[in-house]
Structure 1
Amino acid sequence: MSIHKAPCFHCGLPVPAEEHAHLEVLGEERHFCCHGCYAVCKTIVDQGLTDYYRHRDSKARRAEREQVPEVLRKLRLYDNPDIQRSFVRNAGAHRSASLILEDIRCAACLWLNEQHLRGLDGVVDVDIDYASQRARVTWDPEQIQLSDILEAIAAIGYVAYPYDASHREQLLKDQKRRSAERLIFAGLIGMPVMEFALATYLFPAMFANTPVGLELWQVIGRWTSLLAVIALLVYPAQDFFVGAWRDIKSRRLGMDVPIVLGIVTALIGSVVATIQKAGEVYYDSIAMFIFFLLIARYVEMRGRISAADALDRLARVVPETARRIDAQGVESEVTLFEIRPGDRVAVQAGENVPVDGRLLEGESAFDESLLTGESLPVHKRPGDELIGGSGNREQRVIMEVLRPTETSAANMLRDLLEQGMKARPAYAQLADRAATWFVGIVLTIAAITAGVWSWIDPAQALHNTVAVLIVTCPCALALATPVAIAIGAGRFAKDGILPLKMAGIEAFAQAQVMVFDKTGTLTRGTPALNETQFFGAFSEPELLHIAADLERANSHHPVARALVGAASAALDVSRKPIASEAAATLRHVPGRGVEGAIGGAIWRVGAIDFVCEAPSGTQNARIAALRQSSGLVIGIGRDGVLEGVFAFDDVLRSGAAELMSDLRGGGLSEFAVLSGDHPANVTRIAKAVGIDQAYGAMTSADKLSWIQARQSEGKRVIMIGDGINDAPTLAAADASLSFSGATEVAQAHSDFLILGEDLKAIPQVRRLALRTRRTVMQNLMWAAGYNLLAVPAAALGFIPPWGAAIGMSLSSLLVVMNALRLKRER
């Protein structure tokens, strides 16, 4: 092993040449002997504690795998509240943290870590995602410290670091490099083994009359193959032995145990045959097994990384530093955890906004596609809010920080996505549990095979036992659901849909009934002026102008904003100040309207009976007709005389016209709109969308009864809503969906959250749910079917060890490649 010329910056030990962990510290690029030292140093630097390295008297202890938690505990980094701001969230009296776990190889590894941590006093909840190898741990700080949790993880042979996007990216690069190197090494070293095996198979026919020549080839071939196989075991296959030893020490049966047992059994039998110059050898089977298994694991690793991209994209959009401007106008680059609300921050063109804030100086377009689903950049002016993680596309701007980084929109979305991955469908949970005891069944079958064949035909006992150990593929069963669900979740996120509970894909895929709320769901929830009628001497633009002057001070109200916007479009009065006389006498009457003096007269805008006590018969007829075609009608009057009326309607969301044509079929047979609004308005909106059933003036209890009635008929119901009053129905429905503008209560009871505004995302949710469920079921059927057919065939002697190696590897490859199709499907 070659040594890097510079020692480890953290501990001072030599740095292996093949180690690529490095970080800029104190103005220079520093190298580290391992990722443990890198993680410690990066945590120190990120928290503004770089002076530790400037003033320390000696190098720190090396952060080896078993020592990482101890080193971090001694430095008191992870138990320091200021340090924990970077990766720890407060959850009431509890705390929650995201950690990167190394060496997670299968569902059994997940189970071991989860069960081990759940057995610790003070640990409230643990969930580990196989695709991203990320653990989310919740604990009670009164009972246990984070350093204790990390030490417990190290005690069973795994390594945990605080989640950091750049650190994880470096780890993945190293993993891919090492996996590729081992795969190439196995292919090159295994090639001579296969050549000698091929010669051995062919020479009996070629040298039938010269047994001495055949004997020489056997000796040369077998001893050379043994040396090559030993080289394979020392380097490419070492991870299997390390994993198996860790499993045995932990007193559990992981995926590596039957792999190693099969290799060792075949090796012992081959060595005995080589020494005795009699019997079969299995060097070619061992070489093929290792090579194909490495291929399968390499593809699985790439699939797992691809599946975790959704979380990583949300993490990568937030920069690690920000340009803070002090009171004297001097810029300095600081870490995000030094930023406080009220700070002024500069964002250059091409950079991402570091935290949520308000634009103070400059105008620019910002790319919010990853966070809101909006495909086009959004133009922002001073006073507009900026979303942390959005990209500044045009010019430098200065913003004011509104929220700390831990509560920014990007971090909140990432937390929601992490939590959504925890809720897996029931069949996925069953498969995860099955994978943990599957290995025990395999070993039992192998033992039975050895015993039976030792009695029937001892010469076939080793051959068939090795085939059973190799051919079984618990990896395919373990990968069947987590990879497909993780890739499915990533595809949801890529399409602007946040999966809050992935368990919802089952109900979304099988539902027969879809129910919509109206306001804020089918419509935007923001009224727009669609018709004006005037009865006196004032024209429509004049009435709009007067109404805008009166309503401008009430601009927080959606109707007021609609009037001001319409007046701006009609007369370009968006920058015209309120008339001084009106401004001095404005009076807002809650629930009724607003009044003010203009030109010596009292003008009112609001409810018809507030503006005018007794409209004429003609006016009443026009008002009644407008109410049939519009959602809201208000009046404008002077000195008690009705001068005109404004009709408003809620604006349909984009994609409304195509919604029903995309949804009909595919199992959905019934659609309905349930709303508390006036029945006429509900019916009109439902017809505009193409929904036949429309029910207005419904309370939350009425909506709940309607859904429960359908469920009592054996139907599964999807509810789509956005308000607090929709929470009971969202919770009661078999699956639920809301938009990003929904209330927090509605979001909390939803399975999926649409980040954009387009209704076309609703059919996409169902399509992706159907495809994800189909992929999971295909993987499970293949994994189960393969093992049910292959194991008996191997036990009966129909599959040779080399064929078992190919079958096992191809089985793993198939489930991963099948899951990866979710990324490409439209």
Structure 2
Amino acid sequence: MSVQPISAASVATQDSSLHCYHCQLPIDGQPIRQAVGGEGRDFCCSGCQAVCEAIYDAGLESFYQRILEGDALAPPPELPTELGLYDMDAVQEEFVPALAREREIQLLVEGVHCAACVWLIENSLRAVSGVVEARVNLSGRKLKLRWNNDRVALSSLLHKMAQLGYKAVPFDPDTAEDSLKKQNRHLLYRMGFAAFGMMNLMWISIALYSGADEGEFRGMFHWIGMALATPVLLYSGWPFYQGALNGLRNLRPSMDLPIAIGVSITYAYSSYITISGSSAGEVYFDTVVNFLFVILVGRYLEAMSKRQAMEATQRLLDLQPKVAMRRNLDGSDERVPVRSLAIGDLVAVRPGERLPVDGWVRTGESRIDEAMLTGESEPALKRPGDRACAGTINGTGHLLVEVTALLQDTALGRIIQLVEDAQASRAPIQRFADRIVPWFVTLTLSLASLTFLYWMNHDVEFALMAATAVLIITCPCALGMATPMSIAVASGVGARYGVLVKNGEVLETLSGITDFVFDKTGTLTEGQMSVTRIHTEVERWSAGTPLTAELEQLLQPLVAVERCSEHATARAIVALLPDGPLEAVGCFQAEPGLGVRGVYHEAEVVIGSRTWMNASAVETSQTLSQQLAELDQRGQGYVCAAISGRLVAIIELSDRLRDEAAALVAALRAEGMGLTLLSGDRRATAEAVAAELGGMDVIAEVLPQDKDRVIAELQAAGRRVAMVGDGVNDAPALVRADVGIALGSGTDVSIASADIVLLSSELDKVHLASGLSRLTLRTIRQNIGISVAYNMIMVPLAMMGEVTPLVAAVTMPVSSLLVIGNAGRIRHRIAAMQCRFG
């Protein structure tokens, strides 16, 4: 950042009614003018100037993009020194979800490029008193940090990161992409400088290899080579020296150390030959420059591949608008930053705009495209009272939405958080890699030393080149990236198709599932009950025919009681008389899995299952008893209705199977999975549904609170169970299962209870999640195999002197690129699987 004083003469030419660039308040008297961010800015006081400079120095200049022109900020407090700015609650609330004693923040970390970096950061921070959790997402270069704010300040942790050699700033989607581009640009500069030195050294090498090394110009060519190699080593090789020094300073050496030692020894030996003028040895300045260039090329390609793996998360971040049109009390609309909105505010959404918040539609009607959130291709019709989500696209209507959630608290925000947590998580299989990585540096140095000692008596130069090749060729980067890259790609692909995976462990567990247990209502069926027939003592009504006056009169107390319930059965009964009575119902009681009861006009009304009728001592006539027996025999679903202790009606209900249910059951059965239908309905009804799906085990007449016990019994029998439910009534069973899969739109209950959340209600996503888990675990094993095979083949060859340092520099990044490329195949394999099943 450039900060220079501006002359008083230039200030005098400015308009007298100036406003402070930071706080937007009018400037009284002489302004303080500074060049900030390459442009001249006016400030009202040194406090505003210092805050602005600190914000720009931290790379948070997008702060001023959020504050619209004319919006005034509070005058800044006394500016803390350096990183102390981040200890202020006013600053932290921009990045920290809750300003409690224990806080959590996402930090963007510059300089992370391998598994050793991850190990160094996590172990160093975890050793700090007050740090609860430190978890690095290698793919996204992000650090999830949770700390006790009473015991340690955030600025201290950021300073600790600086001591480690990593720059950490709070993650802001607006600046994250620019920061990554800046890092890659610097990497390109160093790579280009190394390429320039390499091309010029090539001519020196050609001359020496052509015979100049034996003539009178030998020393001149050596000095020219040294002059070209020295700046390349200092500039292009600086990141390796910096990483090595930071690792040694913290007693946690990284893989930059072997690289730094290798290039230093080779350069030092060549410099010795040059300065001493000895004719007994050769110089290897070209080798130093060549493998620095090749390693930098590999790191740049890795950085590009990692960014590609994070594209799915970035696409989700791009869905969140930064500004909204707030409806003021006087009826005017004002464009404001989303962060300035509050719960209960009204937001106007024009045709074609993305919704900036979660909320309820207050006025207007429109079709909203929710494809990026739910996977549903058909726009959903939204009317007053309907729920709308941030990031979805409004159609042709004009909506007024009441805010119920903002930013991280929206459905989109929770989805982004789930994806980021999954990408930063570790599967159990990664523990193998995590245990090996810390020992890699020690092993590398030991093998290089043994190689040098073994070949030293044979030829010092040959020993030096062989040891350098060992230092360069052994690298745990591929092993360290085997799991996180696969999980990052899998999580992003899953999110793209509406499958949210909470963490990497879930993917590994799901790949070993033996049994799938399905809830019936709302999972295998659409959960939208409809009344097909009503049986009374004197008549039988069928759907599609008008209600008689007598039947309407009978239904009135039933509808009044069912209006107090949110169950799908209640909605179906209320739909018979949508304009039915609205009188208050007394003593209302709902018993999950059984039914409801209430008092209407001094008469007790009981509606529910046959078991609920028996518990309520309801009398049943012979006519209706015969009808119940017939329905039980057919497996037809129904509820009973009683008034004043006497059964007055039997209401038949139907719930249509989902279109993809039979195909899903057939696909899982073909893969050898055990299939169980778990339902609270009568056994005959559940068995009829199972038969329609092609046959599966049935566990029926189970109350919601008992589903957890059923899952536990299946697990006790040695089965690994995945439970698929709606995420609300099935919450205990979802938690109990080895893997809980919830259908729905990402509600709080679903996200809290399930391990996998399907944003849409398409059952084929269950098969997709199962295939994704197996493919991910297979890819992780392949990646570990690639890394182990690479080291087992290349390290012995290097120790035998069959691999030159330049070849070692080429093959080292190739192993990492193979791992990244293999992980990227998940994206294409899942797309093909989706096409086949869809």
1:249-296 superposed Cα distances (whole Å, 9 cap, x missing partner): 222211211111111122222233444355233333333322222222
Q: Residue 239 of structure 1 aligns with which residue?
A: 239
Q: Report the Cα offset of residue 445 of structure 1.
A: 0.9
Aligned partner of residue 547 in structure 2, secondary structure: helix
Task: Give runs of aligned pairs for residues 270-281 of structure 1, distance below 5 A.
Answer: 270-274=270-274, 275-281=277-283
Task: Give runs of aligned pairs for residues 461-472 of structure 1, distance below 5 A.
Answer: 461-472=463-474
Among 394, 397, 400, the alignment partner of 2:396 is 394
- Letter of the structure 2 residue corresponding to residue 706 of structure 1: E
Among 529, 538, 560, the alignment partner of 2:570 is 560
Q: Residue 413 of structure 1 aligns with which residue?
A: 415
Q: Residue 39 of structure 1 aligns with which residue?
A: 59
1:586-607 superposed Cα distances (whole Å, 9 cap, x missing partner): 889644568989xxxx998945
Tell me, yes or no, if structure 1 residue 797 matches structure 2 residue 801. Answer: yes
Partners of 2:184 and 2:52 in 1: CA distance: 19
- Letter of the structure 2 residue corresponding to residue 751 of structure 1: D
Among 87, 90, 105, the alignment partner of 2:95 is 87
Alpha-carbon distance change, 718 to 22 in structure 1, aligned in 2, over 3 angstroms: farther
Q: Report the Cα offset of residue 97 of structure 1.
A: 1.7
Provide the identity percentage.
Answer: 31
Q: Residue 683 of structure 2 aligns with which residue?
A: 679
Tell me, yes or no, if structure 1 residue 71 matches structure 2 residue 82. Answer: yes
Preserved contact between residue 473 and residue 783 of structure 1 (Cα < 8 Å): no
Q: Residue 292 of structure 1 aligns with which residue?
A: 294
Among 624, 627, 630, the alignment partner of 1:625 is 630
756-765 or 588-597, which moves further after superposition?
588-597
Preserved contact between residue 95 and residue 105 of structure 2 (Cα < 8 Å): yes
Q: Residue 208 of structure 1 aligns with which residue?
A: none
Partners of 1:196 and 1:34 in 2: CA distance: 48
Among 322, 325, 335, the alignment partner of 1:323 is 325
Partners of 2:431 and 2:100 in 1: CA distance: 28
Q: Report the Cα offset of residue 811 of structure 1.
A: 1.2
Q: Report the Cα offset of residue 298 of structure 1.
A: 1.6
Q: Report the Cα offset of residue 499 of structure 1.
A: 0.9
Q: Residue 457 of structure 2 aligns with which residue?
A: 455
441-450 or 182-191, which moves further after superposition?
182-191
Q: Residue 655 of structure 1 aligns with which residue?
A: 660
Structure 1 vs Structure 2 CA RMSD: 4.2
Preserved contact between residue 33 and residue 43 of structure 2 (Cα < 8 Å): no
- Letter of the structure 1 residue corresponding to residue 713 of structure 2: W
> TM-score normalised to the size of structure 1?
0.83
Q: Residue 836 of structure 2 aligns with which residue?
A: none
Preserved contact between residue 156 and residue 250 of structure 1 (Cα < 8 Å): yes
Partners of 1:589 and 1:53 in 2: CA distance: 52
Q: Report the Cα offset of residue 166 of structure 1.
A: 0.9
Q: Residue 380 of structure 1 aligns with which residue?
A: 382
Preserved contact between residue 54 and residue 82 of structure 2 (Cα < 8 Å): no
Tell me, yes or no, if structure 1 residue 106 matches structure 2 residue 117. Answer: no
Partners of 2:416 and 2:401 in 1: CA distance: 23
Partners of 2:362 and 2:180 in 1: CA distance: 39
**Paired residue total:** 780
Aligned partner of residue 89 in structure 1, secondary structure: coil
Q: Residue 15 of structure 2 aligns with which residue?
A: none
Partners of 1:677 and 1:23 in 2: CA distance: 71
Q: Residue 48 of structure 2 aligns with which residue?
A: none
Q: Report the Cα offset of residue 564 of structure 1.
A: 4.7
Q: Residue 310 of structure 2 aligns with which residue?
A: 308
Q: Residue 340 of structure 1 aligns with which residue?
A: 342
Among 91, 112, 124, the alignment partner of 1:116 is 124
Partners of 2:531 and 2:725 in 1: CA distance: 24
1:364-415 superposed Cα distances (whole Å, 9 cap, x missing partner): 2222233333333212112211112222233432211123444222222223
1:179-234 superposed Cα distances (whole Å, 9 cap, x missing partner): 34444443344233345545655x3xxxxxxx569647866664444344334334
Note the residue ranges of structure 1 that are not aligned, 5 or more in a row. Answer: 61-68, 204-210, 568-572
- Letter of the structure 1 residue corresponding to residue 281 of structure 2: G
- Letter of the structure 2 residue corresponding to residue 652 of structure 1: L
Q: Report the Cα offset of residue 428 of structure 1.
A: 1.1
Partners of 2:279 and 2:72 in 1: CA distance: 65
- Letter of the structure 1 residue corresponding to residue 763 of structure 2: L
Task: Give runs of aligned pairs for residues 655-734 of structure 1, distance below 5 A.
Answer: 655-666=660-671, 668-698=672-702, 699-700=706-707, 702-711=709-718, 715-722=719-726, 726=730, 729-734=733-738
- Letter of the structure 2 residue corresponding to residue 703 of structure 1: V
524-533 or 382-391, which moves further after superposition?
524-533
1:143-182 superposed Cα distances (whole Å, 9 cap, x missing partner): 2333333333233332222221111121122233333444
Preserved contact between residue 244 and residue 257 of structure 1 (Cα < 8 Å): yes
Task: Give runs of aligned pairs for residues 542-561 of structure 1, distance below 5 A.
Answer: 542-543=546-547, 546=552, 554-555=562-563, 556-561=566-571
- Letter of the structure 1 residue corresponding to residue 657 of structure 2: L
Partners of 2:570 and 2:121 in 1: CA distance: 57
Partners of 1:717 and 1:198 in 2: CA distance: 67
Q: Residue 133 of structure 2 aligns with which residue?
A: 125
Partners of 2:121 and 2:161 in 1: CA distance: 7
337-346 or 640-649, which moves further after superposition?
640-649
Q: Report the Cα offset of residue 236 of structure 1.
A: 3.3
- Letter of the structure 2 residue corresponding to residue 120 of structure 1: V
> TM-score normalised to the size of structure 2?
0.82
512-521 or 394-403, which moves further after superposition?
512-521
Alpha-carbon distance change, 470 to 155 in structure 1, aligned in 2, over 3 angstroms: closer
Partners of 1:493 and 1:506 in 2: CA distance: 17
Aligned partner of residue 370 in structure 1, secondary structure: helix
Task: Give runs of aligned pairs for residues 767-806 of structure 1, distance below 5 A.
Answer: 767-806=771-810
Tell me, yes or no, if structure 1 residue 144 matches structure 2 residue 144. Answer: no
Partners of 1:214 and 1:450 in 2: CA distance: 27
Partners of 1:429 and 1:181 in 2: CA distance: 36
Q: Residue 262 of structure 2 aligns with which residue?
A: 262
Partners of 1:344 and 1:743 in 2: CA distance: 22
Note the residue ranges of structure 2 that are not aligned, 5 or more in a row. Answer: 8-20, 23-31, 45-50, 590-594, 832-838
1:430-472 superposed Cα distances (whole Å, 9 cap, x missing partner): 2133222211210111111112222343342111111111221
- Letter of the structure 2 residue corresponding to residue 396 of structure 1: H
